[in-house]
Amino acid sequence: MESLRLKVINEKEQTLTISSPSGPGIAAVHTQAYRDGDRIAIDTHGEPGLYWVCLDEAIGTTLLYLDGSPFNYPIPTADNRSCFSPKAFSGSIHLMHITKADESEAARRRNLARNPYDHHTISGFFPHATANVETRNELAFAARNAIDGIFENASHGEYPYQSWGINRDPKAALTINFGRPVVVDEVRLTLRADFPHDSWWEEATVTFSDDSSVTIPLTKSALPQSASLEARTITALTLHALKKADDPSPFPALTQIEVYGFDA
Protein backbone atom coordinates (compact mmCIF):
# COMPACT_ATOMS: atom_id res chain seq x y z
CA MET A 1 0.00 0.00 0.00
CA GLU A 2 1.89 3.03 -1.29
CA SER A 3 -0.08 5.49 0.83
CA LEU A 4 1.26 3.91 4.04
CA ARG A 5 4.78 3.63 5.36
CA LEU A 6 6.14 2.47 8.70
CA LYS A 7 9.77 2.48 9.82
CA VAL A 8 11.73 1.76 12.98
CA ILE A 9 14.41 4.45 13.37
CA ASN A 10 17.08 4.77 16.04
CA GLU A 11 18.39 7.88 17.80
CA LYS A 12 21.11 8.25 15.14
CA GLU A 13 18.38 8.60 12.47
CA GLN A 14 19.28 5.24 11.00
CA THR A 15 16.41 3.19 9.55
CA LEU A 16 16.47 -0.24 11.17
CA THR A 17 13.28 -1.74 9.74
CA ILE A 18 10.87 -0.70 7.00
CA SER A 19 7.36 -1.93 6.23
CA SER A 20 6.22 -3.89 3.21
CA PRO A 21 2.77 -4.77 1.83
CA SER A 22 0.90 -7.32 3.94
CA GLY A 23 -2.65 -8.35 3.09
CA PRO A 24 -4.77 -5.21 2.74
CA GLY A 25 -2.23 -3.05 4.57
CA ILE A 26 1.42 -2.96 5.59
CA ALA A 27 3.50 -4.74 8.22
CA ALA A 28 7.01 -4.64 9.62
CA VAL A 29 8.96 -7.22 11.60
CA HIS A 30 11.67 -5.69 13.77
CA THR A 31 14.15 -8.42 14.70
CA GLN A 32 16.15 -6.90 17.51
CA ALA A 33 15.54 -5.57 20.99
CA TYR A 34 14.51 -1.94 21.20
CA ARG A 35 17.13 0.50 22.44
CA ASP A 36 16.64 3.86 24.12
CA GLY A 37 15.84 6.47 21.49
CA ASP A 38 14.20 4.08 19.03
CA ARG A 39 10.94 5.21 17.48
CA ILE A 40 8.31 4.05 15.03
CA ALA A 41 7.82 6.54 12.19
CA ILE A 42 4.38 6.43 10.56
CA ASP A 43 3.47 8.18 7.32
CA THR A 44 0.10 7.99 5.57
CA HIS A 45 1.33 10.31 2.77
CA GLY A 46 -1.29 12.91 3.62
CA GLU A 47 -4.24 10.52 3.60
CA PRO A 48 -6.36 11.08 6.74
CA GLY A 49 -8.85 8.52 7.94
CA LEU A 50 -9.55 5.58 10.20
CA TYR A 51 -6.84 2.94 10.40
CA TRP A 52 -6.46 -0.37 12.19
CA VAL A 53 -3.17 0.07 14.05
CA CYS A 54 -0.98 -2.45 15.89
CA LEU A 55 2.40 -1.19 17.08
CA ASP A 56 2.99 -4.03 19.56
CA GLU A 57 1.46 -7.50 19.80
CA ALA A 58 1.03 -7.27 23.58
CA ILE A 59 -1.08 -4.12 23.23
CA GLY A 60 -3.02 -5.30 20.19
CA THR A 61 -4.90 -3.78 17.28
CA THR A 62 -7.16 -0.76 17.66
CA LEU A 63 -9.14 1.56 15.40
CA LEU A 64 -7.62 5.06 15.37
CA TYR A 65 -7.96 8.26 13.40
CA LEU A 66 -4.78 9.48 11.69
CA ASP A 67 -4.98 13.05 10.40
CA GLY A 68 -2.59 12.54 7.47
CA SER A 69 0.49 14.14 9.00
CA PRO A 70 3.62 12.01 9.53
CA PHE A 71 4.44 11.35 13.17
CA ASN A 72 6.75 9.37 15.42
CA TYR A 73 5.84 6.95 18.17
CA PRO A 74 8.69 6.89 20.71
CA ILE A 75 9.33 3.43 22.14
CA PRO A 76 8.98 3.72 25.94
CA THR A 77 12.25 3.05 27.71
CA ALA A 78 12.46 -0.07 29.84
CA ASP A 79 12.28 1.99 33.06
CA ASN A 80 9.24 3.98 31.90
CA ARG A 81 6.61 1.39 30.99
CA SER A 82 4.60 1.21 34.20
CA CYS A 83 1.28 1.64 32.36
CA PHE A 84 2.00 -1.17 29.86
CA SER A 85 2.05 -4.94 30.08
CA PRO A 86 5.54 -6.23 30.92
CA LYS A 87 5.36 -8.02 27.56
CA ALA A 88 4.94 -4.76 25.62
CA PHE A 89 7.95 -3.56 23.59
CA SER A 90 10.08 -6.30 25.13
CA GLY A 91 12.02 -9.15 23.54
CA SER A 92 13.95 -9.34 20.30
CA ILE A 93 11.17 -9.65 17.71
CA HIS A 94 8.32 -7.22 17.16
CA LEU A 95 5.43 -7.35 14.68
CA MET A 96 3.54 -4.18 13.78
CA HIS A 97 0.93 -3.49 11.10
CA ILE A 98 -1.42 -0.79 9.84
CA THR A 99 -4.45 -1.15 7.55
CA LYS A 100 -6.83 1.50 6.24
CA ALA A 101 -10.26 0.77 7.72
CA ASP A 102 -13.31 0.08 5.61
CA GLU A 103 -15.59 3.11 5.21
CA SER A 104 -18.38 1.28 7.02
CA GLU A 105 -16.36 1.44 10.25
CA ALA A 106 -16.97 5.19 10.50
CA ALA A 107 -20.72 4.65 10.88
CA ARG A 108 -20.39 1.91 13.51
CA ARG A 109 -21.31 2.99 17.05
CA ARG A 110 -18.33 2.36 19.28
CA ASN A 111 -16.19 3.78 22.08
CA LEU A 112 -14.57 6.71 20.26
CA ALA A 113 -12.23 7.47 23.18
CA ARG A 114 -10.23 4.23 23.21
CA ASN A 115 -6.53 4.50 22.31
CA PRO A 116 -4.12 2.16 24.11
CA TYR A 117 -1.24 3.76 22.17
CA ASP A 118 -1.89 7.33 23.32
CA HIS A 119 1.25 9.21 24.27
CA HIS A 120 2.05 12.65 25.72
CA THR A 121 4.17 13.82 22.78
CA ILE A 122 2.23 12.54 19.77
CA SER A 123 0.09 14.68 17.49
CA GLY A 124 -1.79 13.48 14.42
CA PHE A 125 -2.94 10.30 16.18
CA PHE A 126 -6.41 10.25 17.80
CA PRO A 127 -8.12 10.07 20.23
CA HIS A 128 -5.62 11.92 22.41
CA ALA A 129 -5.97 12.62 26.14
CA THR A 130 -4.36 15.49 28.04
CA ALA A 131 -4.78 16.80 31.58
CA ASN A 132 -3.82 19.87 33.58
CA VAL A 133 -2.45 17.64 36.36
CA GLU A 134 -1.13 14.09 36.71
CA THR A 135 -0.02 12.64 40.05
CA ARG A 136 3.73 13.24 40.44
CA ASN A 137 3.94 13.23 36.62
CA GLU A 138 4.22 9.44 36.80
CA LEU A 139 3.17 7.37 33.80
CA ALA A 140 1.07 5.11 36.06
CA PHE A 141 -1.19 8.13 36.70
CA ALA A 142 -1.13 9.77 33.26
CA ALA A 143 -4.21 11.00 31.40
CA ARG A 144 -3.60 8.45 28.63
CA ASN A 145 -4.45 5.66 31.06
CA ALA A 146 -8.10 6.74 31.13
CA ILE A 147 -8.52 5.83 27.45
CA ASP A 148 -6.40 2.67 27.20
CA GLY A 149 -9.36 0.28 27.42
CA ILE A 150 -8.21 -1.43 30.63
CA PHE A 151 -10.82 -1.48 33.42
CA GLU A 152 -8.96 -3.14 36.29
CA ASN A 153 -9.46 -0.73 39.20
CA ALA A 154 -8.97 -2.66 42.46
CA SER A 155 -5.45 -1.31 43.00
CA HIS A 156 -3.22 1.51 41.73
CA GLY A 157 0.26 2.52 40.67
CA GLU A 158 1.21 -0.32 38.32
CA TYR A 159 -0.07 -2.38 35.39
CA PRO A 160 -2.90 -3.34 34.99
CA TYR A 161 -4.15 -0.84 37.59
CA GLN A 162 -2.97 2.35 35.88
CA SER A 163 -5.31 5.34 36.17
CA TRP A 164 -5.57 9.09 35.77
CA GLY A 165 -4.48 10.49 39.13
CA ILE A 166 -5.32 14.10 39.94
CA ASN A 167 -2.76 14.76 42.70
CA ARG A 168 -5.57 15.93 45.03
CA ASP A 169 -6.24 18.93 42.79
CA PRO A 170 -9.91 20.03 42.92
CA LYS A 171 -9.45 21.86 39.61
CA ALA A 172 -8.21 18.78 37.78
CA ALA A 173 -9.50 18.44 34.21
CA LEU A 174 -9.00 15.87 31.47
CA THR A 175 -9.53 16.64 27.78
CA ILE A 176 -10.02 14.20 24.93
CA ASN A 177 -9.39 15.44 21.41
CA PHE A 178 -10.94 13.28 18.69
CA GLY A 179 -9.11 14.97 15.80
CA ARG A 180 -12.24 15.27 13.62
CA PRO A 181 -16.00 15.74 14.09
CA VAL A 182 -17.76 12.86 15.82
CA VAL A 183 -21.35 12.34 16.97
CA VAL A 184 -21.60 11.27 20.63
CA ASP A 185 -24.59 10.05 22.62
CA GLU A 186 -23.20 8.46 25.79
CA VAL A 187 -20.37 8.91 28.30
CA ARG A 188 -19.31 6.20 30.74
CA LEU A 189 -16.97 6.70 33.68
CA THR A 190 -15.22 3.94 35.61
CA LEU A 191 -13.75 5.24 38.85
CA ARG A 192 -10.69 3.75 40.49
CA ALA A 193 -12.01 1.58 43.31
CA ASP A 194 -9.04 0.70 45.52
CA PHE A 195 -11.18 1.25 48.62
CA PRO A 196 -10.47 2.31 51.35
CA HIS A 197 -7.28 3.81 49.89
CA ASP A 198 -9.41 5.60 47.30
CA SER A 199 -12.20 8.09 47.60
CA TRP A 200 -14.68 8.80 44.80
CA TRP A 201 -16.51 11.65 43.11
CA GLU A 202 -20.19 12.32 43.70
CA GLU A 203 -20.50 14.09 40.38
CA ALA A 204 -18.48 15.17 37.36
CA THR A 205 -19.17 17.60 34.53
CA VAL A 206 -18.39 17.00 30.87
CA THR A 207 -18.15 20.08 28.66
CA PHE A 208 -18.15 19.51 24.92
CA SER A 209 -16.50 21.51 22.15
CA ASP A 210 -19.94 22.80 21.09
CA ASP A 211 -20.11 24.54 24.52
CA SER A 212 -22.82 22.22 25.84
CA SER A 213 -22.32 20.46 29.19
CA VAL A 214 -23.73 17.57 31.16
CA THR A 215 -23.29 16.76 34.86
CA ILE A 216 -23.02 13.07 35.70
CA PRO A 217 -24.04 11.87 39.19
CA LEU A 218 -21.65 9.22 40.54
CA THR A 219 -21.65 6.68 43.34
CA LYS A 220 -19.05 4.62 45.19
CA SER A 221 -18.82 1.80 42.67
CA ALA A 222 -16.22 -0.22 40.79
CA LEU A 223 -18.51 -0.56 37.77
CA PRO A 224 -18.91 1.79 34.77
CA GLN A 225 -21.41 4.60 35.38
CA SER A 226 -23.22 5.86 32.32
CA ALA A 227 -24.91 9.05 31.17
CA SER A 228 -26.99 8.98 27.99
CA LEU A 229 -26.92 12.21 26.00
CA GLU A 230 -28.85 13.96 23.30
CA ALA A 231 -26.65 13.26 20.28
CA ARG A 232 -24.29 16.13 19.45
CA THR A 233 -21.43 16.69 17.01
CA ILE A 234 -18.13 17.59 18.67
CA THR A 235 -14.38 17.45 18.16
CA ALA A 236 -13.34 17.33 21.83
CA LEU A 237 -14.63 17.19 25.40
CA THR A 238 -13.34 18.02 28.88
CA LEU A 239 -14.09 16.19 32.13
CA HIS A 240 -13.92 18.63 35.06
CA ALA A 241 -15.72 19.99 38.15
CA LEU A 242 -15.04 16.74 39.96
CA LYS A 243 -16.95 16.83 43.25
CA LYS A 244 -15.22 14.65 45.82
CA ALA A 245 -17.26 12.62 48.29
CA ASP A 246 -17.08 13.43 52.00
CA ASP A 247 -14.68 10.60 52.71
CA PRO A 248 -11.40 10.39 54.70
CA SER A 249 -9.37 9.34 51.67
CA PRO A 250 -7.92 12.22 49.56
CA PHE A 251 -7.40 10.01 46.50
CA PRO A 252 -10.21 9.86 43.95
CA ALA A 253 -9.03 8.80 40.49
CA LEU A 254 -10.35 7.73 37.09
CA THR A 255 -9.72 4.33 35.54
CA GLN A 256 -11.62 4.78 32.25
CA ILE A 257 -13.72 7.26 30.31
CA GLU A 258 -15.68 5.87 27.38
CA VAL A 259 -17.41 8.08 24.79
CA TYR A 260 -19.89 6.29 22.54
CA GLY A 261 -20.95 7.41 19.10
CA PHE A 262 -19.73 7.37 15.51
CA ASP A 263 -17.81 9.50 13.00
CA ALA A 264 -19.68 12.51 11.69
Residues 44, 147: Cα–Cα separation, whole Å: 24
Percent of the chain with pLDDT over 70: 99
- Length of the chain equals 264
Per-domain residue ranges for the chain? Answer: 5-107, 110-263
Count the Cβ atoms, other than its own, within 10 Å of residue 57: 15
CA distance 67 to 33: 30
- pLDDT digits over 22-61, tens only? 999 999 999 999 999 999 999 999 999 999 999 999 999 9
Instruction: State the CATH architecture for 110-263.
Output: Sandwich (2.60)
Q: What is the predicted pLDDT for the residue at 2?
A: 61
Considering only CA atoms, which of 186, 191, 223 is closest in space to residue 206?
186
Q: What is the mean pLDDT of residues 67-76?
A: 94
pLDDT, position 80: 87
List the beta strands (DSSP E) in 56-173.
62-66, 71-74, 94-100, 110-111, 125-126, 128-131, 164-165
Q: What is the pLDDT of residues 209-251, one digit of tens each?
A: 999 999 999 999 999 999 999 999 999 999 999 999 999 999 9
Q: How confident is the model at residue 194, as a pLDDT?
A: 98
DSSP 143-169: GGGGGSS----SS-SSTT---EE-TT-
